[in-house]
Amino acid sequence: MKALWAGSGLGLALLSLSACAPQLQPQSVEVWEGTGRVLLREQSYRLTFSADPQSHQLAGTLENRSSGDRFQASGTLLPVAEGAELTAQITASSGARLSASVLGFGVSGVALKSDALLTGRVAGEVFKGSLRVNGVAYPLELRRVR
């Protein structure tokens, strides 16, 4: 009888400890598709990310479907009245790099793709914002796919 009583006490202790543990909410994956005009050319984009509902941190990828390039996206998705503000650093990561020299002068390890900053507002099923590349902001509009 004593062993049974000790076992049920342990079960109660574990049950009370699990009630104090933070509850993790599953992060859903969001997919947005649309177009933007960069350097006078219309480009097709797909933004795929998940956002932590507690910290509002987002992580994902931005794909330029016109060129086939993929970039890492990390930033925040902050709730505001009637939507959310999205700010993400777009990083070219480990793409092709240029190394060249002419008459002893040159460059080494220069990324061929530029990093960018994606900012804008989500209102319902539409994201309207801009993609800032090399200091120039280009308009971008995406629609939620799922």
| Contact predicate 18/39, CB 8 Å | no
Spatial neighbors of 3 by CB under 8 A, at least 6 apart, are none
Residue 93 gets the label, from left (phi > 0), alpha (psi -120 to 50) or beta, of left
Q: What is this structure's pTM?
A: 0.70
What percent of the chain has pLDDT above 70?
A: 66
The domains of the chain, with CATH numbers, are 29-144 (2.40.128.120)
Question: Taking residues 133-144, what's their average pLDDT?
Answer: 92
What is the pLDDT at residue 104? 61
